[in-house]
């Protein structure tokens, strides 16, 4: 009996009741041990480098001891596009932010502030208030937003974006500082059907009996008609692109048949063409002298070409150095383009 009593007294000495709090949840634990580490081992609690134990694991314990264990959590926080990692023993998002000194009172968080912070940690985004300038629908305004991205800011400011609309910068661009400028271009697409002309071709045929520079129309050309469908893109009310979708010719064009003379004229002769009296025009302009140059040195040849006009109808060098036939040919080209008004005084003689 003495042995049994002594053993009971010894058990009572080593058995201790402690209050163990793990992440704020407290339980009563009976343990045979002398240090905090013995209690943790009894409860299979493993301590990592970021966990906190109070008192320390090597501290002795007594009956009624209070032991607190707080596990470390990895918190990944992105504030206005800048990401940092923190270790914390806080058990909620709000307490973690307060513990880490991250001010987010007026900011937008990607999770609820009251959300529990589990041992696996958490990643969250914090977007602080910023001023942005938004241009859309012909108006520009500056407003304050806590949106993390351009998309969030537009939604917060009640600016709708259609599937075709163009947003600069892009919708997923992070807002990291004050002063961002956001532009929304309204885009619409239309399908239109139009009737358009079809240009006629020219079939040139040679005639050795006609002098070079002479032409004769056998068949007049006539444009055709076609129905075309375009896909149009309009940006903020302005047509920017037009893409052909389909084309259907409803009336074929009539090809112009033109006979062109190939006979070489005499070097000094002034050929006639199309019923026009080129010799009379040349006589009025230059006295019929293909080498004529006016007193100012500006106008040359039979028809008193300027150098720029001569080049515009395909001539090279000086008009007065060309043959009478070539001068007449170039004059006819000029006439076909602009009429006899090119010779305001002498054009009546044509």
267-349 has CATH 1.10.530.10 classification: yes
User: Cα 230–234–238 angle (5° rounding)?
Assistant: 120
Q: Which H or E run includes 281? A: helix 278-286
Question: Which residues make beta-bridge pairs with 81?
Answer: none
And the tokens for 173?
């661009």
Nearest one of 8, 9, 7, 64 to 31, comparing CA atoms: 64
Angle ∠(130,134,136) on CA atoms, nearest 5: 160
Q: Supply the pLDDT for residue 265.
A: 59
Q: State how far the Cα of 202 lies from the Cα of 168, in Å rounded to an integer.
A: 50
The CATH superfamily holding the domain 189-258 is Resuscitation-promoting factor rpfb. (2.20.230.10)
Strands 202-211 and 256-263, sheet pairing: parallel
SS3 assignment for 182-225: EEEECEEEEEEEEEEEECCCEEEEEEEEEECCCEEEEECCECEE
Q: What is the pLDDT of residue 113?
A: 87
Q: According to the model, what pLDDT value does residue 251 have? A: 96
Domain 2-70 architecture: Roll (3.10)
How is the chain split into domains, by residue range?
2-70, 73-127, 130-185, 189-258, 267-349
Does residue 59 sit in helix, strand or coil? coil
- CATH code, residues 130-185: 3.10.20
With beta carbons less than 8 A apart as the criterion, state whether 68 and 25 touch. Answer: no
Considering only CA atoms, which of 278, 281, 283, 303 is closest in space to residue 293?
303
Q: Is it true that 2-70 and 73-127 share their CATH fold?
A: yes
DSSP string, 242-273: EEEEEEEEEEPPBPEEEEEEEEPPPTT----B
Residue that has been written with the tokens 């041990």 in this structure: 33
139-145/187-198 β-pairing: unpaired
- Residue linked to tokens 């270790």: 87
Q: What is the mean pLDDT of each run of 10 residues along the chain (350 residues)?
A: 44 75 92 91 92 93 93 91 90 88 81 89 90 95 92 94 95 91 96 96 90 82 96 96 96 94 65 75 91 90 94 92 90 90 90
How far apart CA 10 and CA 79 sit, in angstroms, is: 59
The per-residue DSSP string of 112-166 comes to -TT-B--TT-EEEEEE--EEEEEEETTEEEEEEE--SBHHHHHHHTT----SS-E
For the question of whether the overall pTM of this predicted structure is more than 0.85, the answer is no
Cα–Cα distance measured from residue 256 to residue 13, given in angstroms and rounded to the nearest whole number:
124
Pick the CATH number of 73-127 from 3.40.50.1370, 3.10.20.30, 3.40.50.300, 1.10.1740.10: 3.10.20.30
What pLDDT shows up at residue 295?
87
Q: What is the pLDDT of residue 274?
A: 63
The token duo for 298 is 């500006």
Q: What is d(CA 97, CA 115) in angstroms, rounded to the nearest whole number?
A: 12
Name, in order, each residue with C-beta under 8 angstroms of 184's C-beta and a sequence gap of 6 or more: 134, 135, 136, 137, 154, 159, 161, 165, 166, 167
């Amino acid at each position: 009996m003495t042995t049994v009593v002594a053993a009971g007294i010894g058990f009572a000495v080593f058995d201790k009741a402690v209050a163990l709090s793990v992440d704020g949840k407290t339980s009563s634990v009976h343990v045979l041990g002398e240090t905090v580490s013995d209690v943790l081992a009894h409860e299979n609690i493993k301590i990592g480098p970021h966990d906190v134990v109070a008192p320390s694991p090597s501290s002795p314990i007594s009956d009624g001891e209070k032991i607190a264990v707080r596990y470390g959590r990895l918190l990944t926080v992105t504030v206005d596009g800048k990401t940092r990692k923190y270790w914390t023993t806080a058990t909620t998002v709000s307490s973690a932010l307060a513990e880490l000194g991250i001010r987010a009172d007026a900011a937008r968080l990607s999770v609820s502030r009251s959300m529990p912070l589990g041992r696996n940690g958490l990643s969250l985004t914090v977007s602080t208030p910023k001023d942005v300038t938004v241009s859309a629908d012909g108006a520009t305004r500056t407003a304050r937003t806590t949106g993390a991205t351009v998309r969030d800011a537009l939604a917060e400011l009640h600016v709708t974006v259609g599937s075709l609309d163009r947003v600069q910068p892009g919708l997923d661009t992070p807002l990291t500082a004050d002063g961002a400028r956001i532009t929304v271009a309204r885009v619409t697409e239309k399908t239109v059907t139009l009737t358009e002309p079809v240009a006629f071709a020219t079939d040139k045929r040679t005639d050795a009996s006609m002098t070079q520079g002479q032409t004769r129309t056998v068949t007049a050309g006539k444009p055709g008609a076609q129905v075309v469908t375009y896909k149009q893109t309009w940006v903020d009310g302005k047509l920017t692109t037009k893409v052909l979708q389909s084309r259907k010719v409803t009336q074929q064009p009539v090809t112009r048949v033109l006979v062109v003379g190939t006979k070489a004229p005499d070097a000094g002769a002034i050929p006639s063409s199309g019923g026009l009296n080129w010799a009379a025009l040349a006589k009025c302009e230059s006295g019929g002298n293909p080498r004529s140059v006016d007193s100012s040195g500006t106008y040359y040849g039979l028809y008193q070409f300027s150098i720029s006009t001569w080049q515009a109808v395909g001539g090279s060098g000086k008009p007065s150095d060309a043959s009478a036939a070539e001068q007449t040919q170039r004059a006819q080209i000029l006439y076909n383009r602009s009429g006899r008004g090119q010779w305001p005084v002498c054009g009546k003689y044509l």
